[in-house]
């Protein structure tokens, strides 16, 4: 094992994982670490997924692991993938493959024993490396040199890689933001510009998954500008983009939240975007709450802020302050920071009465209860949300008389 081996770093930084890999290599000795694990070990980044490849069929791998008493799950047999579980940690092991045919997103694969053939079907050179149990890095497409140079480059012909899987367009920008330095690869950008319309064939869930990661990744503004210049953003967000606004939001130092940044980026109807991208209910609601609602402002008194907190979630109010700050000044500001600090420290007021309180006091059940409760809550809001249960009960008698109920 050489000093520069990824396994040296793994043994130093993640000794438990290194021991687990040794266990797997004792069972499948010709397997190799592949993809992101090799890439991130080489450049000193945190490794999240330990994926391996093997020349053996998935059935053979499962049989070997089973005989050794290792838990194994057939997670993707059609694509050659099984998952070994050691001490609760998953290790995906995928049989070497070549593509038989592809529809632009999904491929029909066949098994192979050729490591170069398997590497040739990967997206970028920095993801096409493998590392054997001796610590030797196998690099058929100069991924190490590209990684050192900050060059995100497609394996082989960029157009072919993209037509095989159009999601690689968005993956290119995500990887360029994280691993690239300087101007993006010219061949990649030319192919992406020509083939940007292929994004329309992708599932919106996959598009949002990639866009979400881009929005919370590094170099967001630069990446979005590259996506806009290549025509990609027109297909990702056909509702329109406000590049100036998202730039101003970033300049303010707002939290790195994908939905907040999406709210700034979208120039059109945010609800339409949420529906089209099939955002989760939570994300869609959060996005909708950024437009058309009251915004806390510096200088507001405690009662006004309390009323806003009573009617709106704290997160929604904070996001609106960030977007308003971006619109108004587009830079850091102590007054806006102080406003958010006040909101975060304030307890959220909760109206102390319910319909049951009215009925218990003698109000006949029915529509009148709801009307009376609404009027009482408005009184509570107008008075700064400070009246407690007893004070609200005392006021309730007047409200009930106004709506025609007798106690």
The CATH number of the domain where 204 resides is what? 1.10.3090.10
Same domain for 4 and 139? yes
Same domain for 213 and 336? no
**CB neighbour class for 379 (10 Å; exposed up to 12, middle 13-18, buried from 19):** middle
Same domain for 231 and 260? no
Q: How confident is the model at residue 3 (pLDDT cuts 50, 70, 90)?
A: very low
Range of the domain at 162: 153-236
Question: What mean pLDDT do residues 39-54 have?
Answer: 93
Question: What mean pLDDT do residues 371-399 have?
Answer: 82
Q: How confident is the model at residue 401 (pLDDT cuts 50, 70, 90)?
A: low
Give the percent of the chain with pLDDT over 70: 93
Supply the mean pLDDT for the chain. Answer: 92
C-alpha distance across the termini of the chain, in Å: 88
Look at residue 407 and tell me if it is in a domain. no
203: Cβ–Cβ under 8 A, 6 or more apart, which residues? 105
Per-residue pLDDT tens for 88-136? 999 999 999 987 666 655 667 889 999 999 999 999 999 999 999 999 9
354 or 129, higher pLDDT: 129
* Least confident span in 197-201, 302-306, 335-339: 302-306
Same domain for 139 and 214? no
Domain's final residue, options 307, 332, 349: 349
Domain's final residue, options 82, 114, 149: 149
Same domain for 77 and 193? no
Q: How many domains does the chain have?
A: 4
Question: What mean pLDDT do residues 12-40 have?
Answer: 95
- Provide the Cα torsion 158, 162, 165, 169; round to 10°: 110
The pLDDT value given to residue 37:
95
Same domain for 161 and 132? no
Per-residue pLDDT tens for 326-341? 999 999 999 999 999 9
Look at residue 320 and tell me if it is in a domain. yes
pLDDT at 147 over 70: yes
- Strand runs (DSSP E) across 248-305, as ranges? none
Question: What mean pLDDT do residues 392-397 have?
Answer: 80
Same domain for 289 and 395? no
Cβ neighbours of 181 (radius 10 Å):
12
Helix pair angle (334-345, 314-328), 10° resolution:
170
Look at residue 298 and tell me if it is in a domain. yes
The pLDDT value given to residue 407:
41
Domain's final residue, options 180, 205, 236: 236
Same domain for 63 and 79? yes
Per-residue pLDDT tens for 168-178? 999 999 999 99
Look at residue 43 and tell me if it is in a domain. yes
pLDDT at 405 over 60: no
Same domain for 111 and 142? yes
Report the C-alpha gap between 240 and 258 in whole angstroms.
17
Strand order from edge to edge, sheet including 32-34: 71-76, 81-86, 89-95, 51-54, 32-34, 130-131, 137-138
Question: What mean pLDDT do residues 26-50 have?
Answer: 94
Same domain for 76 and 133? yes
Question: What mean pLDDT do residues 1-19 have?
Answer: 82
Look at residue 143 and tell me if it is in a domain. yes
Report the C-alpha gap between 302 and 101 in whole angstroms.
64
C-alpha gyration radius of the chain: 29
Q: How confident is the model at residue 262 (pLDDT cuts 50, 70, 90)?
A: very high
DSSP class per residue in 20-44: HHHHHHHHSTT-EEETHHHHHHHHT
Same domain for 31 and 144? yes
Cβ neighbours of 375 (radius 10 Å):
17
* Least confident span in 40-54, 100-114, 281-295, 380-394: 100-114
Same domain for 344 and 265? yes
The pLDDT value given to residue 370:
79
The pLDDT value given to residue 208:
98
The pLDDT value given to residue 406:
45
pLDDT at 68 over 60: yes
The pLDDT value given to residue 98:
85
**Count of residues making up the chain:** 407
- For residue 2, what is the domain's CATH number? 3.30.460.10
Report the C-alpha gap between 294 and 312 in whole angstroms.
9
Question: What mean pLDDT do residues 141-146 have?
Answer: 97
Q: How confident is the model at residue 4 (pLDDT cuts 50, 70, 90)?
A: low
């Amino acid at each position: 094992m050489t000093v520069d081996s990824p396994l040296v770093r793994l043994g130093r930084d993640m000794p438990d994982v290194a021991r687990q890999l040794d266990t797997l290599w004792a069972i499948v000795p010709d397997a190799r670490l592949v993809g992101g694990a090799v890439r991130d070990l080489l450049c000193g980044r945190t490794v999240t997924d330990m994926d391996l490849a093997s020349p053996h069929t998935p059935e053979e791998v499962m049989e070997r692991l089973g005989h050794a008493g290792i838990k194994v799950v057939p997670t993707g047999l059609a694509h050659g993938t099984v998952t070994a579980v050691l001490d609760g940690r998953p290790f995906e092991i995928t049989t070497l493959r070549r593509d038989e045919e592809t529809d632009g997103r999904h491929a029909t694969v066949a098994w192979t024993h050729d490591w170069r053939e398997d590497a040739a079907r990967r997206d970028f050179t920095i993801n096409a490396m493998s590392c054997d149990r001796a610590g030797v890095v196998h690099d058929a497409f100069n991924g190490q040199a590209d990684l050192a140079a900050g060059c995100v480059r497609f394996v082989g012909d960029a157009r072919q890689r993209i037509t095989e899987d159009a999601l690689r367009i968005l993956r290119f920008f995500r990887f360029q933001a994280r691993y690239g330095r300087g101007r993006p690869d010219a061949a990649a950008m030319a192919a992406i510009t020509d083939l940007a319309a292929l994004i329309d064939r992708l599932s919106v869930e996959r598009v949002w998954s990639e866009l979400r990661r881009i929005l919370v990744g590094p170099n967001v503004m630069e990446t979005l500008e590259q996506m806009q210049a290549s025509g990609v953003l027109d297909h990702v967000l056909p509702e329109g983009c406000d590049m100036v606004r998202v730039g101003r939001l970033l300049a303010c130092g707002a939290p790195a939240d994908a939905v907040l940044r999406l709210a700034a980026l979208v120039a059109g109807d945010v609800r339409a975007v949420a529906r089209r991208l099939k955002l989760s209910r939570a994300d869609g609601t959060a996005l909708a709450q950024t437009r058309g609602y009251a915004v806390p402002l510096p200088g507001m008194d405690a009662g006004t802020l309390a009323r806003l907190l009573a009617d709106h979630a704290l997160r929604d109010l904070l996001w609106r302050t960030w977007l308003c700050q971006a619109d108004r000044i587009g830079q850091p500001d102590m007054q806006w920071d102080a406003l958010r600090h006040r909101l975060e420290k304030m307890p959220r007021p909760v109206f102390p009465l319910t319909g049951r309180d009215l009925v218990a006091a003698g109000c006949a059940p029915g529509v009148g209860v709801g009307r009376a409760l609404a009027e009482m809550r408005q009184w509570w809001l107008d008075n700064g949300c400070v009246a407690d249960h007893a004070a609200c009960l005392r006021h309730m008698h007047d409200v009930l008389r106004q709506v025609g109920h007798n106690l």
